[in-house]
Amino acid sequence: MKILVVNGVNLNMLGQREPEIYGTETLKDIEESVKKHCNNKGIDVDFYQSNVEGELVDCILYEKDRYDGIIANFGAYSHYSLALHDCLSMLKIPVIEVHLSNVHAREEYRHKLLTGSVSKGIICGFGSYGYIMAVNAMENTLNG
Ligand code: DQA
């Protein structure tokens, strides 16, 4: 099993960015703990991050055939990117969306998740542990 973990806009700033909402771990810290968790389970994992909407689309479209599933936190793009929504809509592999914060307990403009509407499921509000939960959910989804 091989999965791709994609992080979108502003998530490269984790650790410095509003730590009271997003925690103090950097994206590198999170990727390292996800990698360790995947290694323990015998899952191959790659990571990608970009602040550019089109680069996220390109990554998914060009890399999709190399993976069994995608775990994604597109950041603010999750709320309004029709381009990412349409890109995910054509995938045959499952996508599990993650948000560090509980977007439903925040501003109303964060309640709508355009990308989440075409994902297998959404995990939000558990901080970086959400990515670990997503790996477990992906394993369960792929192994039936
Ligand atoms: C986020 C939630 C989004 O609303 C926000 O724009 C982010 C981070 C999260 O992980 O909680 O950039 O996706």
3-state SS, the chain, equals: CEEEEEECCCHHHCCCCCHHHHCCCCHHHHHHHHHHHHHHHCCEEEEEECCCHHHHHHHHHHHHHHCCEEEEECCCHHHHCHHHHHHHHCCCCCEEEEECCCHHHCCHHHCCCCCHHHCCEEEECCCCHHHHHHHHHHHHHHHC
**Which residue is catalytic, options 67, 77, 85, 99?**
99
Q: Where are the domains of the chain?
A: 2-143
User: What pLDDT is attached to residue 128?
Assistant: 98
CATH of 2-143, one of 3.40.50.9100, 2.60.120.340, 2.170.130.10, 3.10.180.10: 3.40.50.9100
Once rounded to an integer, what is the mean pLDDT over residues 80-93?
98
- Residue 111 appears among annotated catalytic residues: no
User: What pLDDT is attached to residue 59?
Assistant: 98
Residue 136 confidence class, pLDDT cut points 50, 70, 90? very high
Once rounded to an integer, what is the mean pLDDT over residues 112-122?
98
Examine the pLDDT at 82 and tell me if it is beyond 90. yes
User: What pLDDT is attached to residue 144?
Assistant: 79
The model's pLDDT over 20-78, given as tens digits with 9 standing for 90+, comes to 999 999 999 999 999 999 999 999 999 999 999 999 999 999 999 999 999 999 999 99
Once rounded to an integer, what is the mean pLDDT over residues 8-18?
98
Q: Which of 26, 100, 123, 129 to mutate to test the pocket of ligand 1 (most atoms within 8 A of CB)?
A: 100
Ligand 1 binding pocket, CB closer than 6 Å: 10, 73, 75-76, 78, 99-101, 103, 110
User: What pLDDT is attached to residue 40?
Assistant: 98
45 φ, ψ (degrees, to nearest 5): -140, 140
Task: Compute, in angstroms, the gap from residue 99 CA to the centroid of ligand 1.
Answer: 6
pTM of the model: 0.97
